[in-house]
Structure 1
Amino acid sequence: MLKLERGAGSEMPLPPELQKLLDRKSLLLLVKGETGTGKTTAALELMARLRTSGDTVHISTRSYPDKLVFQHALFSKLAAQKNIHFFSTLEFDPTQFVVAHNVVSGLLRLLSSMDNPLVVLDSWEGIADYVPPEARMKVEQSLMAVLEGTGARMVLVSEHPETNSTLDQLAEAILVLHQRVIDDRRVRELEFRKLRGVPIRQERYLFTLAGGRLRYLEPFAFTLPERTSMFRPLENTSTHMSTGSRDIDALLGGGVPRGSTVLLEIRGDVPFEGQIYVPLTALLNFLATNNAVMAFPYSDYDPTRARLFATQFMPEDVYNANMRVFTTDKVDDPVAIKFSLNPTEDFDKWLGTYSAYKAEGKTIWMLMALDTVENFYGQGVMNFLATVASRAAVNKDIQSIVARPNLQLTQKVANISQIHLVLSQRWGTLILYGVKPRTGFYALQFTFGHGYPEFELIPLEDISLAGEAGPEKERPPSVTFPGRRHEVRTDFFEAVMNSLNRSKKGAA
């Protein structure tokens, strides 16, 4: 099972557009979305990013502060800060918000009493819905004047994703959260509906709340580092061959079982680089562990480019000894074997190469582009693949087939495969998931942290912070808030200011 560190690190990736916006000194940011889209967690994430040495106040109209511990992995750390304060309007008489003047003057007094104020209000409707409709527009217009006059930054959560209110027109930024169900799996999307003064590079991004943090998922990009390093392979076991990726090995229960046929199906508009680089760590791991790779590559295979790329991460003699590529083109490369398109003759070449590697005691990964193999063997392609699958099962090798979109043979190949993975993309982010065995959605992110290509799989489905599955799971630290005694009809904003003043005196 993939392990996800809850709240690891104080900084999580943010879209560059949003990061630029958060640097502003005065800000009104709206977070909108339907119920369950992650607005509360998003608001807490923004609060964690925006907080400074000044005063931060979080006001919830929907929950009590001690319940928020299950909403964000950093909540306990935030609540322990002397200058961060959590309040709930549920303890007060809401009819005090009916008078528009009370809302505006209350916010003005509160923000004026704070140092470098940051306020998160979750949600705005919890107060504004009590204001008479004819006065609400004036309240929202006055709110902008209050923010500008006090130099405050404010994050407002709204249950209404449509953008037609006065606040929508006045706010510097509007973030709308969505969730979609694709193949019975949930995907979350972050939409930039408005970013005043900041160019919107991309309208939507995927994000995840797994691990109790809001993390945006970067669109696919594969850029080599200035300095590369030799690939450090992962160990194979007596029962499994490593894919070269700890995360993918974990997803498959320890790697690929020896003797398996694996289908990697490409769905949708996956960039070509993504299609060829996803199997890359497995290829490097096989070669670096002195095992062999026999490949039927895509028709646009470039042997010079492939050699230059692979030998950045391993010695060239290892590549020459353990790599073989079958092609119909005449290729001047030591690892290339030319096929004549005579099925019997070509199979003998393939079998001779296979037998030679087995005589050396190597485990073989037979990597095949399905459309290329179909061009080689025509109607006999399934017989060939079934023969290879049978040979792999007997000799504990691996057959891996990559199927580009819309190939008619894909389902037939799926029927003879023990593992069926799908690679797709949404809003530029690569998504990997298992059909057989069934898995959740994972965003696939490339890293070069050690100087060679690695994958990080980031769960797109939420991982609960409640730890209800058993005592072995980490539970969020408990948070105790001091009792605040007040009459029900106490002025809410006055109570917040008094609490802030007491806190400052206690810290002095």
Structure 2
Amino acid sequence: MIPGEIRQFFSSQFGKSLVVKGKPGTGKTTFVFGILHELCPGGNCIYISPRIDKSSSYGKFPWIEGDFNNNEDFLRMLASRIKAIWESSDSKPMIVVDSIDSLSIATTRSVHWEENKFELERLLMDFSRKVNADLVMITEKTDIDSLDYLVDGVVSVEISEMAGSDIRKIHLLKLRGVGMSQSRYLFTLHNGTFTSFEPFRVSFPEHTLIPSPVTDPAHSKISTGSPDFDEILGGGYQKGSFNLFEITSGVGDSFYSILLPTFINHLNMGRAMLSIPTEGTSVETEKRMISPFTNEANFPRQFKGFEIRDQKGRMPAYVEAFSGNLYKDMEIFYQSKHEMMRQLGSPLLDYIGLDSMEYSYGWENIGAVIGQIASVTKTTENIVVAVAKHGQKITDSVAHMATTHWKFENVDKTLVMYGIVPKTGMYVAQMDFSSGYPQVRLVPIK
């Protein structure tokens, strides 16, 4: 999927010209073929590449061989192909040159190809305007030159490094006539195709369904509720594990949606869940997000949420009040845990917002408590999912206790997740509600 701004750019009834820049291996050709697949379904495009074998997978589009004596011979051959397209179709043609540098070498066959390149660019621009065709020119020259000012659009494809992994971005530098909602998009070449990612959004369906539970793949594992995440973890969470999710600045509360399938699946397996919500999230909010996808009649029996509140007020059965005294509250927590384990057995899931605990009790006080939770959990079949937010002092001391440690980042409005323990590559996290319940897709950035 190419960015929506690119589709809008080429939707004009008049031909547009676009330059695609980037160093070798950044994904320029794959991006251009993403354009061709989406915008040229009727075969109204022409692909020109002196450097790629026509018998390759790129050869499915109408092709002009790169064997020309000069610019004039090339343009005559191109004009013949464009004439045939207009005679057989009402669709605007698209001409792709991959790359303008190699085409200039092919049409001059001399060391003066750079001088010829300027002339060839001018001829192609004039030609595409006269025949009302879109023109896409790929170049490996990344600096600004005169062509950038002549064409209607310029995009740059880049690779950078983040947390020891490659991350790919496309920069929309100029697109005349297009209002750009954003100028940079994260993308992947996973499965050999160009896929850019829209900003992370969560939109709950009007009609919800209760999903069939994802069973544990092995006796020693507990499914995350997401087949993609289960595969990354080698089958799911290890029984007796403490799993830390670190939320960096800019992510906000969107991370919670990614954990939803775990909570829903756990409850739909008939198991118990305890929750100390993160700051800004109440137990009632968690119920509104989780219960539509579970058996609501069983929810109060399986779920218990804890928060500091006036114990004199009337509370739902699924809420337990904390007092604000750490040791008293931990006693309440463990009493509830033991009672739920007595009724429902193991494995039980603890969800702990470390930011709310640090805010309520002080980071210097909760280290030993969290350490005890982690160490006790590792002697059981239960699991802990703990969330630490940007800037928390407790994060470093908790990280060394973690069985797994994951990090969420906001990269150009896209939610990215990667493993610190175990070390993994980058994944774009996407929410899918098309089936009536939340599913998490984790797409590798390659």
2:135 to 146, 151, 154: 154
Q: Deviations along 1:51-74, whole A, 9 cap, x unmatched?
A: 2435543221223223x43xxxxx
Letter in 2 for 1:447: D
Of 227, 231, 240, 2:221 maps to: 240
Counterpart Cα distance in 2 of 1:261 and 1:136:
60
Query: Where in structure 2 are the equivalents of 1:270-349 lying within 5 Å?
Result: 270-272=251-253, 274-330=254-310, 332-349=315-332
Query: Distance in 2 between the 1:109 and 1:238 partners?
Result: 67
* Partner Cα separation in structure 1 for residue 12 and residue 145 of structure 2: 24
Task: Tell me, yes or no, if the aligned pair for 1:64 and 1:87 is still in contact at 8 Å.
Answer: no
- Counterpart code for 1:58: Y
Contact kept, 8 Å, 1:310 with 1:319, in 2: the verdict is no
From 389, 406, 417, the counterpart of 2:402? 417
- What is aligned with 1:259? 240
Shift of residue 136, structure 1, vs aligned partner: 5.1
Between 231-240 and 443-452, report the one with greater CA deviation: 231-240
Q: In the TM superposition, what whole-angstrom CA distance separates every residue of 1:145-178 from its partner, at most 9, and x where no partner exists?
A: 3112223233211112233323x23323222101
In 1, the alpha carbon distance for the partners of 2:270 and 2:341 equals 12
Does the 8 A contact of 2:185 with 2:197 survive in 1?
yes
Change in CA separation of 1:295 and 1:303 when aligned onto 2, cut-off 3 Å: closer
| Rounded Cα–Cα distance in structure 1 between residues aligned with 2:374 and 2:272 | 16
Shift of 1:127: 2.6
What residue number does 1:492 align with? none
Alignment size in residue pairs = 429
Out of 106-115 and 406-415, give the one that drifted further.
106-115
Post-superposition Cα deviations, 1:102-121, rounded to whole Å, max 9, x if no partner, equal 55555445433444543321
Residues in 2 aligned to 1:266 and 1:251: alpha-carbon distance in whole angstroms: 19
**Does the CA contact (< 8 Å) of 1:104 and 1:139 recur in 2?**
no
How does the TM-score come out when normalised to structure 2? 0.89
Pick one of 186, 196, 215 that aligns with 1:206: 186
Cα distance between partner residues in 1 of 2:113 and 2:336: 81
* Residues 1:128 and 2:104 aligned together: yes
Distance 1:132 1:287 in 2: 67
SS of 2:294's partner is: coil
- The answer as to 2:117 corresponding to 1:176 is no
Given that 2:257 and 2:431 are in contact with CA atoms closer than 8 Å, whether structure 1 keeps it comes out as no
Q: Does 1:399 pair with 2:384? A: yes
Alpha-carbon distance in structure 2 between the residues aligned to 1:324 and 1:366: 10
Which 10-residue stretch deviates more, 48-57 or 353-362? Answer: 48-57
Residue 181 of structure 1 deviates from its aligned partner by 0.7
Q: 1:380 to 1:39 in 2, by over 3 A?
A: same
Q: Is the 8 A contact 2:308 2:324 kept in 1?
A: yes
Task: Measure how far apart 1:295 and its partner are.
Answer: 1.3
Moved more, 213-222 or 372-381: 372-381
Residue in 1 that maps onto 2:365: 380
Residues 213 and 269 in structure 2, CA contact (< 8 A), matched pair in contact too: yes
Matched-pair contact (CA < 8 Å) for 2:187–2:195: yes
Q: How far did residue 191 of structure 1 move?
A: 1.0
Structure 2 residue identity aligned to 1:248 = F
* C-alpha deviation, 1:377, in angstroms: 4.3
SS at match of 2:292: coil
Q: CA RMSD in A?
A: 2.2
SS in 1 for 2:293: coil
Hey, what does 1:47 align to over in structure 2? 36
- Per the TM alignment, residue 376 of structure 1 is displaced from its structure 2 partner at its CA by 4.4
Amino acid at match of 1:53: G
Shift of 1:133: 6.1
Residues 91-110 of structure 1 aligned to structure 2 (within 5 Å):
92=67, 96-97=69-70, 101-102=72-73, 104-105=75-76, 107-110=78-81
Q: What is the TM-score when the length of structure 1 is the normalising length?
A: 0.79
Alpha-carbon distance in 2 for matches of 1:459, 1:245: 15
Q: Shift of the alpha carbon at 1:227?
A: 1.7
Contact 2:226-2:262 at 8 Å conserved across structures: yes
CA distance in 2, matches of 1:301, 1:153: 50
Question: CA 1:52/1:390 → structure 2, altered by over 3 Å: closer, same or farther?
Answer: closer
Counterparts of 1:306 and 1:269 in 2: how far apart (Å)?
A: 21
Determine the C-alpha separation between the residues in 2 that align with 1:321 and 1:389: 25
Structure-1 separation of matches of 2:159 and 2:248: 20
Tell me, in whole angstroms, the C-alpha distance in 1 between the residues paired with 2:404 and 2:82: 58
Distance 1:132 1:120 in 2: 19
Residue identity matched to 1:374:
E
Task: Supply the distance in 2 between the matched residues of 1:206 and 1:342 (Cα, whole angstroms).
Answer: 45
Percent sequence identity over aligned pairs: 26
Letter in 2 for 1:144: M
Residue from 189, 194, 201 that aligns with 1:221: 201
In structure 1, the residue matched to 2:62 is 85
Q: Is the 8 A contact 1:17 1:200 kept in 2?
A: yes
Quick one: structure 1 residues 358 and 136, their matched pair in 2 at CA, closer, same or farther if it must change by over 3 Å?
closer
Higher RCO (CA 8 Å, separation ≥ 6 residues): 1
Q: What is the alpha-carbon distance in structure 1 between the residues aligned to residue 435 and residue 36 of structure 2? A: 32
The residue aligned with 2:355 is 371
Q: 2:334 aligns with which of 339, 342, 351?
A: 351
Larger deviation: 183-192 or 217-226?
217-226
Give the counterpart letter for 2:208 in structure 1: T
Distance (whole Å) between structure 2 residues aligned to residue 352 and residue 52 of structure 1: 63
Give 3-state SS (helix, strand or coil) of 1:435's partner: strand
2:83 maps to 112
1:416 partner letter: M
- Compute the displacement of 1:205 (Å): 0.4
**Is the 1:303–1:333 Cα contact (8 Å) retained in structure 2?**
no
Question: In structure 2, do the counterparts of structure 1 residues 377 and 271 end up closer, same or farther at CA, with 3 Å as the change threshold?
Answer: closer
1:143 paired residue among 124, 129, 132: 124
1:61 paired with 2:32, answer no
Name the residue aligned to 1:460. Answer: 445
* Stretch of structure 1 that moved more, 341-350 or 191-200: 341-350
Where 2:355 maps in the other structure, the secondary structure is helix
Unaligned runs of 5+ in 2: none
Deviation at 1:216, TM superposition (A): 0.5
SS in 1 for 2:7: helix
One-letter amino acid matched to 2:317: P
Superposed displacement of residue 424, structure 1: 0.8
Of 3, 7, 10, 1:22 maps to 10
Give distance in 1, aligned partners of 2:371 and 2:388.
Answer: 16
Distance 1:342 1:118 in 2: 69
Gaps of 5+ in 1: 1-12, 70-74, 462-508
Whether the 8 Å contact between 1:290 and 1:362 is mirrored in structure 2 is no
Amino acid at match of 1:444: A
**1:135 to partner: Cα distance:** 6.4
